[in-house]
């Protein structure tokens, strides 16, 4: 079962990587004779919903798998839940809205992150609130094909480090269903010629005989944990389960050398290379000046959450086992699950060159210099201001509780003495 899911998810991920590499690349695929597909695939008499699950911030394609041959353009609709009266039209009726994926940021308006190409709906940087039903149809309200899309949050993802002998969560057996994690294939090693790391993303799935029959799933009796096919009485238990990611060490050679069968090597085999400076010939370099004490987020050019990305500072490797968000709650420098490098409260020793690896190759360098501004205006959006406000409020609440505790204790002692005297 898990193998079937992995094959389907891997194929979808590869398609997304090909489709979203650039807008020009997508045009190269527009010559595909999709009309032949529509001639051979009749639409079902009763609208069904195909289940699909993704991790937040990913981009993907939803093809309109069937339509009448005479229909020359389609409209995509969105419903949060089946039968909802609130239906949103995602693109213009002619399907001519063009979206450049490089301009799409987290938090962008929903309509800006969708586009129709060759009858397919292209979704950029999907968010958890985008989970719901997507329906391919016409502006007259005729529906041909539907998707039940489940977007699982990356912020609460559970992390296991294979090098520390940590393992994914066990399957959860209940009376009427089983909850498990379906893992995608391992990513490429995120560095070459030195010790790197690989990730394996796993999404939450449910196996049950009680799934709603209007939903079509990849494997029989299996659906993602946020699917509308799951009865409401099961969801309270299922929602506790979170997506997972497993991280392990790996080594692969650079410049076309043959990698090992598993792409893995023991740390002792490459310990001599850990201090070497990365090969940085002919990579683009960006220059940035940052104010002392301010926050900074660096993105790797062209990288997406599903890519294998690594960060180095000068000759120091910023390994996920130490710098992944959540490893330490008091982290000032960390890497999030979207592969962004965060620096909170910039210090003087943060200056240097930060190298970005993507899919095992160094693609960019960032030369960071830290400057001191004696009269920089503060506002509530500054990370250091927010930290100071939280610290003051926490101290105030603690002192208030301590004062009330002492006051109540003294009153109790006084009342006890009075009762003893009587």
Examine residue 246 and state whether it is found in any structural domain, yes or no.
yes
According to the model, what pLDDT value does residue 330 have?
80
Alpha-carbon distance of 115 to 97, in angstroms, equals: 6
Examine residue 128 and state whether it is found in any structural domain, yes or no.
yes
Examine residue 139 and state whether it is found in any structural domain, yes or no.
yes
How many angstroms separate the first and last alpha carbons of the chain?
77
According to the model, what pLDDT value does residue 48 have?
85
Whether residue 270 is found in the same domain as residue 168: yes
Whether residue 142 is found in the same domain as residue 225: no
Whether residue 103 is found in the same domain as residue 92: yes
Q: What is the pLDDT of residues 261-312, one digit of tens each?
A: 344 443 334 333 444 444 555 788 999 999 888 889 999 998 888 899 999 9
pTM: 0.67
* Three-class SS state of 298: strand
Q: In DSSP terms, which residues pair with 88 in a beta bridge?
A: 78
Whether residue 26 is found in the same domain as residue 160: no
The DSSP secondary structure of 387-411, one letter per residue, reads HHHHHHHHHHHHHHHHHHHHHHHHH
> Which residue, 371, 386, 405, sits at the end of a domain?
371
Examine residue 72 and state whether it is found in any structural domain, yes or no.
yes
Whether residue 207 is found in the same domain as residue 310: no
Produce one character per residue of 140-175: b if its CB has 16 or more CB atoms within 10 Å, e if not: eeeebbbbbbbbbbbeebbbbbbeeeeebeeebeee
Place of tokens 């539907």: 146
Alpha-carbon distance of 96 to 322, in angstroms, equals: 46
According to the model, what pLDDT value does residue 185 have?
92
Produce one character per residue of 103-132: b if its CB has 16 or more CB atoms within 10 Å, e if not: eeeeeeeeeebbbbbbbbbbbbbbbeebbb
Highest mean pLDDT among 74-78, 89-93, 191-195, 391-395: 191-195
Over its C-alpha atoms, the chain yields an Rg (Å, rounded) of 26
According to the model, what pLDDT value does residue 225 have?
93
Phi and psi (nearest 5°) for 162?
Answer: -65, -35
Domain of 367, CATH number, reads 2.60.40.10
Domain enclosing residue 163, as ranges: 156-274
Whether residue 105 is found in the same domain as residue 204: no
Q: What is the pLDDT of residues 66-94, one digit of tens each?
A: 888 888 888 888 888 776 667 788 764 44
> Which residue, 95, 121, 152, sits at the end of a domain?
152
Place of tokens 């500072």: 313
Name the nearest CA neighbour of 125 among 98, 92, 103, 157.
103
Whether residue 124 is found in the same domain as residue 234: no
Total number of domains constituting the chain:
3
Examine residue 404 and state whether it is found in any structural domain, yes or no.
no
Higher pLDDT, 4 or 79: 79
The DSSP secondary structure of 190-243, one letter per residue, reads SSSSS-EEEEEEEEEEEEETTS-TTEE-SSTTEEETT-TTS-HHHHHHHTT---
Examine residue 381 and state whether it is found in any structural domain, yes or no.
no
Alpha-carbon distance of 30 to 25, in angstroms, equals: 9
């Amino acid at each position: 079962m898990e193998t079937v899911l992995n094959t389907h998810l891997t194929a979808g991920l590869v398609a997304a990587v090909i489709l979203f590499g650039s807008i020009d690349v997508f045009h190269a695929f527009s010559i595909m004779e999709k009309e032949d597909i529509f001639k051979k695939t009749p639409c079902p008499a009763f609208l069904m919903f195909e289940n699909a699950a993704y991790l937040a911030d990913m981009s993907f394609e939803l093809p309109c798998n069937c339509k009448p041959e005479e229909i020359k353009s389609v409209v995509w609709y969105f419903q949060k839940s089946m039968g909802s009266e609130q239906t949103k039209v995602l693109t213009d009726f002619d399907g001519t809205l063009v979206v450049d994926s490089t301009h799409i940021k987290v938090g962008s308006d929903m309509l800006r992150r969708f586009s129709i190409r060759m009858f397919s709906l292209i979704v950029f940087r999907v968010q958890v609130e985008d989970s719901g039903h997507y329906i391919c149809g016409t502006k007259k309200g005729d529906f041909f094909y539907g998707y039940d899309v489940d977007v699982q949050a990356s912020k609460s993802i559970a992390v296991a480090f294979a090098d520390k002998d940590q393992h994914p969560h066990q399957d959860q057996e209940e009376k009427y269903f089983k909850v498990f994690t379906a893992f995608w294939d391992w990513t490429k090693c995120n560095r070459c010629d030195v010790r790197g790391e690989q990730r394996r993303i796993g999404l939450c799935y449910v196996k049950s005989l009680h799934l709603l029959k209007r939903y079509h799933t990849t494997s029989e009796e299996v659906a993602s944990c946020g699917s509308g096919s799951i009865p409401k009485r099961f969801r309270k238990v299922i929602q506790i389960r979170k997506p997972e990611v497993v991280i392990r060490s790996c080594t692969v050679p650079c410049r076309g050398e043959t990698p090992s069968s598993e792409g893995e090597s023991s740390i002792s085999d490459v310990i001599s290379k850990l201090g070497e400076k990365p090969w940085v010939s002919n990579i683009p370099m960006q220059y940035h000046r940052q104010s002392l004490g301010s926050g900074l987020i660096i993105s790797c050019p062209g990288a997406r959450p599903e890519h294998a990305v690594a960060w180095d500072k000068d000759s120091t490797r910023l390994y996920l086992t130490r710098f992944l968000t959540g490893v330490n709650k008091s982290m000032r420098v960390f890497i999030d699950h979207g592969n962004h490098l965060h620096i909170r409260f910039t210090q003087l020793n943060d200056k240097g060159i930060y190298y970005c690896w993507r899919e095992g190759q160094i693609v960019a360098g960032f030369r960071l210099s830290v400057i001191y501004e004696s009269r920089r205006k503060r506002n509530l959006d500054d990370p250091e201001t927010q930290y100071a406000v939280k610290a003051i409020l926490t101290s105030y609440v603690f002192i208030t509780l301590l004062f009330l505790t002492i006051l109540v204790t003294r009153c109790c002692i006084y009342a006890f003495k009075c009762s003893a005297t009587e």
